[in-house]
Structure 1
Amino acid sequence: MRLFQRCITLAICFIPMFSHLAIAQEESYIEGLVVDFKSNQSVPGANVYWKNNPTEGVTTSPEGTFKLPYKKLPAFLIVSFIGYEQIEREITSRDLGKNLKIYLREDQLDLQEVTVNSTRPDQNVKSLDMGKSVVPIETIKNIPALFGEVDLLRSLQLLPGVQTAGEGTTGLFVRGGSADQNLLQIDGAPIYNPSHFFGFFSVFNPDAIHGVDFYKGNIPANYGGRISSLIDISLKEGNFDKIKGEGGIGTISSRLTVDGPLFSDKSSFVVSARRTYADLFLRLSSDPNINNNDLYFYDLSGKAVFKIGDKDKLTVSSYFGSDFLGLSGQFGFGWSNWMGAATWNRNISDRMFFDLNAYSSRYNYKVSFDDADNGFEWGNALGETGVKATWNYHFSEQTKVNWGSHLQFYHFASIDLNPAPNSAIQPLASNPFNGLQINPFVSLNHEISDKIGVEAGLRWSIYQQHGRGTSYTYEGNEPTPEAEIIDSLIFNRFERMKVYQGLEPRIAFRYLIREDLSLKIAANRAFQYLQVASNSSAGLPLDRWILAGTYIPPIRGDQFSVGLFKNFNKDTWEVSLEGYYKDMKNLIDLRQGASVLFTDRVETEILVGDGYAYGVEFLLRKNVGKTTGWFSYAYARTWRKIEGISFDRWYNPRFDRPHDLNLVLNHQFDKQWSANLTFVYTTGQAVTFPAGSYVVDSQRLPLYTGERNADRFPDYHRMDASVTWKNVNRGKKWRGSWNFSIYNLYGRKNPFSYQFTEIFNEQINFTPTSNDPITSRRPGTVMTYLFTFLPSLTYNFEF
């Protein structure tokens, strides 16, 4: 597109010009480290500025360090961060050449404030970020939760532009994109199925999380692989002084996190565990149809930090989570996620920083059915291994350059369908799929003047599908279920099968209209080389991931966005209005009646087409005071057009929900008591209802017209509330708190599904007997809802 060509040209022209200006500028700096007083752990994102010049401050790096220019000493330095008491310290010439260490103490009252932005108060106005939210863990923990289980992804659903699949689910649909178009990563390692309990909970234990960066707009050039959003999660680092712990005992699960020094004051560890005990309650039942069932999930995570000298830090982290559902020993359904990551951070100089991240991630899932005639075991696994090197160079506080490369290796194992002895089912072993992707990238962030800032980036993704594998050639070169295979090519290990590549420019501008009002414009392109083929919009564990190949090209997504950002009343309130348009190419959807789980030729069950989405998002947020929270509203539409679906006309995917409204309120009565309230309202999801019915062999079946998702569920709305009592006595080694929450406060029966069936004797679940025969029958619709008024109680503790 011409716009992107101009963006690339502009970026190339800016880089040498800004570099020259930066090198010519000489400034004097002070440097330091901001840490938590209790844990001695670094505090990233803290605000550091001079008292007499608050508009020219900086924020601390992910390692808690800062570098601030000065003109005249002595002067007073201000350091602040939400949740901590503000520090004012006089800096004199005697502090020059020293690496300052500044301690922040917790502010018990501020810890209960609800805010999505944990950086400097005017960051939303003056930064170049668009569609980005930094989500503090305290915010997540304050939001009322399903079953009392605090959940990261459900908290993100309360932000504008983020939709959900339905009642209780954690799947995210961001700005018209499907769930597989979101990159979720822990310490740089991707997680392919971020859900527990069939989507009701996410795999992220909030006690183990240090921070969350959520991008839905202008994703930086050093990230890629998905076209809709990035959820970048960092695990918490242990403190270096003493053993500490926290956890909770809830209605459906319990959790425990312990951290502290490992070998010395230069190393630390943190270990976190969580498990449900629904299966333990099932054992208490006297009914053998219930006590023989299994239903549980658990997850474990850990992280170790090693400080190697003054300039180097090594972190090693890992996560494992598992789910299982077993019904009376006859049916079993389970899946698991594992990831391991290691990161080396080095301060090469005062201006240059280097990060090296290596990771491996694996996802396994399987189904088993114990039956003499049709028993089987079905399993699949997929994984990704990668290495990413990043250099950051700060020419000055006004000019920063970031460059590096990311290498990814995908391995999607073959599907194994193993029938039981004497089973009528035929065995199946599909071909594996492998892919290699290289992504060099570079970006520039420059403040042209006090009013104008620009961020320009370029990422080049080079992807190849390679063996082992088999590529089929179909009659007419069209892979359809009826097409005859006229040839097949077998590729050996690492032999190239198909190559794709594309340039991914990103550019953003900010114009500061006033000190408290800015206009931002951004455009970016991204390619995605893997997709999910699924009959469900909720993101089920059995969804089949598919790599780009001969018949399935990569998705290309182009997004354009513009927004106004304003703060008022001394940054107590902030308001933003963003509009976006997203163009998507090479999206996949399933043919009518397709089955992708039991085939080696998945390309015959898939159709490829295009789509687009647009929307407007409004956000009003209050960050300071006893009452905090936000109100958001989004109007958003998304469309698809794929030949062979819905009469080749534009149609809405299931997650198209035009109206989305969210309200989040938190009130701090005193240091002990707080209350929280959330309200959500969305348009009902798009679905396909039958136009009628017909009878075959005395059985009534629904009749569909072929038009996809032309109907809708009723509008969805729900209110949740919670009350928290906290023991704030700092002198006690054990501090506890109680949280009482109510999910769906007024008992709204939001539909989860509809079943079109026959109603016998005006009863939904009627079973005829000799004494009670069928006397009437009619076609009917049965609505299923999951939750009404659902209370829960959780005890949280720290030691």
Structure 2
Amino acid sequence: MKFFLLTISLFSFLCISVYAQENSLTVKGIILEAGTNVPLPGANVYWEMDPQKGDISNVDGLFSVPQVTLPATLIITYIGFEKISQTITETDNLGSLRILLRPEERSLEEVVVTERRADENVRGMEMGKSILPISTIKNIPALFGEVDLLRSLQLLPGIQTAGEGTTGLFVRGGSSDQNLIQIDGAPVYNPSHFFGFFSVFNPDALENVELYRGNIPAQYGGRLSSLVDVSLKEGNTQSIRGEGGIGTISSRLTVDGPLFSDKSSFVISGRRTYADIFLGLANDPNIRNNALHFYDLSGKLMFRPTEKDKITISSYYGSDYLGLSELFGFGWSNWVNSGVWKRSISDILFLDVNLYYSQYNYEVSFSDEENGFVWDNKLAETGGKVDLMFLPNDKWKINAGYHGQYYGFAPISLLPDPGSAISTIETNPRNGIQNNFYISSLYDISEGLSIEAGLRLGLYNQVGKGVSYIYESGVPQSNESITDTITYSSFANMKFYNGLEPRVALRYMISPSLSFKAAYNRNFQYIQVATNSSAGLPIDRWVPAGPHISPIRSDQYSIGLFQNLSNNMWEVSIESYYKDFNNIIDLRQGANIIFTDNIETEIRTGRGWAYGLEFLLRKNIGKTTGWLGYTYSRTYRQIEGISMGLPFNPRFDRPHDLSLVLNHQINSVWSTSFTFVYTTGQAVTFPIGVYDIDTQRVPLYGPMRNEDRFPDYHRADASVTYKRPDAGRKWRGSWNFSIYNIYGRKNPFSYQFTEILNEEINFTPTPEQPIVTRRPGVVKTYLFTFLPSITYNFEF
């Protein structure tokens, strides 16, 4: 703690000293889209006479460039918009310029719109950072034609998937719960629909998506592996606009426009599947009475009470439900709310305040006179962030702030129906309070060398109301080893942890188009998932750190080379990393985690490590755009009590991962897209034999974990888009025809080791048809082969 306070004092002293010595005049302003007044993030702003003195507009369209001898010409460029040359004189308001950009009337630019500076990948400090423009995501061929954010991110280097059709992200050796996925600063605990086949993000409602898998900024924490920062779209302030689509299994609609005046706006977006409508048309009543659907609804309000203030309020609600003939019901939902206040205190000091609430719950019900029950659970996080950004001069940026979090994990309860033979089960709640303080500084030492250093301090308390168990020898081995129970009242301290998270990065410009970067990050994670599935299920159990479960920690080292070619037309990068994990958990063999109150007896703790090499070749300009990515990576765990205490690979260890994404604009009307993916098969455990129980043969598994593998996975997808010529129409439509898995590869989803009776997979013996032959067999299940879809998209 003393070290942290000393560091803050040192940073403060340096800030005051440098500002006093190097304060320089600046020219500030905002970049807006003409006609809508929507801020444009990522626009390039620089002086014609000195291009090195420039800036990139932030998410609010704001920029700041060093002042030069006036009059001078300011150049503003943004791909997809007309280039602006504006003469600035002493008589202009140098503290609040207002610059309007008009879209270019060329459909080609819609494909290559980017939200970053053309050479940002070379000149920026970030490592392992990826930005996927929403326009690019919408062009990628998708399962059932459903454009999906998380599946698009899986096509980037360093990101693995759990299997066919799933949206879980496994980043640089981390599990899916080690990703912080947030909407406007609020975390999302289950970012998937349809058991992981689709993500909760409607692309029409999104403004910006950033993925950090390497050098995560100090203002973010709480997860080990990555940050997926999603921003909802802000409405335009001039007129009502809309867009949407009608697809194979769902439809969507987004409407935005001014709210009260040109200083406020709204966006509302909705999406729903209609699989249940088709089920209702079936002749079979067993199918007709089933229900299967998901929907999501999001909205955002924006207010600009003054030139220096902006307030946004956003909310997302999404729900899934599966019902089988009114006997079985399974549903889950996310409710995420965020409020953000941004204020320009002065030309060099900016304030961001974010308050949020995120809730996730699920319910399983079974209607039966003898065994009926309702099983439900809810978890929630409430938080607040305060961030100050200080810009002493054009070479130095400082961020400092605070982030407070309250975790509320409600009891897991199973309530039997009246007359049911099932007993009531209810666990105790688990709650936690986490306080985080951080400070970071980015400084340009010279034209070619920049360094960024940060420090984050996390203070975590597990608090009551709750129960802690005392075990023999202090080791939670089983229920039988419990010797005593301690009950805590509300907010009483049960266990305290703290951790310092240093982060440092440097960038050296070898040439104007080639840079070398290196970074080190330490992260602590105080909540994690205990699950039997690597893919992630709606009923996965989140577990906070406590008396018997320590927070997990990771240390990541990474280096890389980044180069742009042919005037930023091509990007090439090579990154390598090594990551250590400590106090990572896994389940013991045969663990039961669903209803146990002392889950610490079902898990084992150990260490892990991962390393890899990532290659990316990306083309950003021209009729043909896209990227080729390749990753070589290995991931290991070593946990006492699992795999005889020897290192083993988790299921998401896939050494080779290749992805190719191509978009081609044939003309102003037709465009095509193509993707190809290849990965090593996931690591699994196959049985080593069988044994008999009550005339049934059951697979026998050995002590070693994940020594086998599925066959290698590969698939190609393609799509064609026809866009009607605008010709001044208010209604603009397009048709998308896509094919998932165009050559029908039968990639395995699962293998079942069972007995084959009478050479039939699902044979049921009867007196008339007795069992004649019996042999062990393996049944492969695959989900999709050749799968076409069609979607109609529109704008008005």
TM-score tier by shorter-chain length is over 0.9
Give the equivalent residue in structure 2 for 1:252: 249
Give the equivalent residue in structure 1 for 2:111: 113
Structure 1, unaligned stretches of length 5 or more? none
Give the equivalent residue in structure 1 for 2:456: 459
Give the equivalent residue in structure 1 for 2:184: 187
Is the CA contact 2:8–2:439 (under 8 Å) kept in the aligned structure 1? no
2:446 match: secondary structure: coil
Counterpart of 1:573 in structure 2: which amino acid?
W
Give the equivalent residue in structure 2 for 1:59: 56
| Counterparts of residues 178-327 of structure 1 (less than 5 Å) | 178-327=175-324
1:251 match: secondary structure: coil
1:579 aligns with 2:603: no
Give the equivalent residue in structure 1 for 2:151: 154
TM-aligned CA deviation for residue 13 of structure 1: 6.7
Is the CA contact 2:15–2:392 (under 8 Å) kept in the aligned structure 1? no
Deviations 1:535-575 (A, max 9, x none): 00001001000000011000011101000111111111110
Structure 2, unaligned stretches of length 5 or more? none
Counterparts of 1:535 and 1:218, CA distance in 2: 30
Give the equivalent residue in structure 2 for 1:699: 696
Give the equivalent residue in structure 1 for 2:644: 647
Counterparts of 2:727 and 2:494, CA distance in 1: 63
- The TM-score normalised by the length of structure 1 is 0.97
Counterparts of 1:583 and 1:683, CA distance in 2: 23
Pick one of 528, 537, 542 that aligns with 1:540.
Answer: 537
Deviations 1:363-421 (A, max 9, x none): 00111112233221111000000010000010111101100100000000001111123
Deviations 1:148-187 (A, max 9, x none): 0000000000000000010000000000000000000001
TM-aligned CA deviation for residue 12 of structure 1: 8.2
Deviations 1:703-741 (A, max 9, x none): 111111110000000001111111241511100111111
Counterparts of 2:667 and 2:717, CA distance in 1: 21
1:193 match: secondary structure: coil
1:477 aligns with 2:469: no
Give the equivalent residue in structure 1 for 2:602: 605
Deviations 1:320-359 (A, max 9, x none): 0000000111111110000111111111001100011000
Deviations 1:275-310 (A, max 9, x none): 000000000001011001000000000000111111
1:483 match: secondary structure: helix
Deviations 1:440-460 (A, max 9, x none): 110001100001100000000
Give the equivalent residue in structure 2 for 1:406: 403
Give the equivalent residue in structure 1 for 2:25: 28
Deviations 1:623-650 (A, max 9, x none): 1111111001000111001110000100
Root mean square deviation, CA, Å:
1.7
Is the CA contact 1:112–1:674 (under 8 Å) kept in the aligned structure 2? no
Give the equivalent residue in structure 1 for 2:622: 625
Counterpart of 1:741 in structure 2: which amino acid?
S
Is the CA contact 1:227–1:528 (under 8 Å) kept in the aligned structure 2? yes
Is the CA contact 1:113–1:623 (under 8 Å) kept in the aligned structure 2? no
Give the equivalent residue in structure 2 for 1:364: 361
Counterpart of 2:107 in structure 1: which amino acid?
L
Pick one of 766, 790, 795 that aligns with 1:793.
Answer: 790
2:277 match: secondary structure: helix
TM-aligned CA deviation for residue 600 of structure 1: 1.1
- The TM-score normalised by the length of structure 2 is 0.97
Deviations 1:666-724 (A, max 9, x none): 11111211110010000000000001112222111101111111100000000011111
Deviations 1:561-593 (A, max 9, x none): 000111111111110000001100011111111
2:618 match: secondary structure: strand
1:721 aligns with 2:718: yes
Counterpart of 1:371 in structure 2: which amino acid?
D
Deviations 1:647-669 (A, max 9, x none): 01000100000000010101111
Give the equivalent residue in structure 1 for 2:139: 142
Counterparts of 2:42 and 2:443, CA distance in 1: 19
TM-aligned CA deviation for residue 480 of structure 1: 1.8
Is the CA contact 1:518–1:565 (under 8 Å) kept in the aligned structure 2? yes
Residues 184 and 336 of structure 1, relative CA distance in 2, 3 Å threshold: same
Aligned length: 794
Give the equivalent residue in structure 2 for 1:732: 729
| Counterparts of residues 347-426 of structure 1 (less than 5 Å) | 347-426=344-423
Counterparts of 1:491 and 1:7, CA distance in 2: 31
Counterparts of 2:687 and 2:606, CA distance in 1: 25
1:512 match: secondary structure: strand
1:139 match: secondary structure: helix
Counterparts of 1:598 and 1:747, CA distance in 2: 41
Is the CA contact 1:8–1:458 (under 8 Å) kept in the aligned structure 2? no
Residues 89 and 38 of structure 1, relative CA distance in 2, 3 Å threshold: same
Counterparts of 1:709 and 1:18, CA distance in 2: 52
Is the CA contact 1:135–1:212 (under 8 Å) kept in the aligned structure 2? yes
Counterparts of 1:722 and 1:692, CA distance in 2: 45
Pick one of 34, 38, 63 that aligns with 1:41.
Answer: 38
| Counterparts of residues 584-599 of structure 1 (less than 5 Å) | 584-599=581-596
Is the CA contact 2:683–2:707 (under 8 Å) kept in the aligned structure 1? yes
TM-aligned CA deviation for residue 231 of structure 1: 0.4
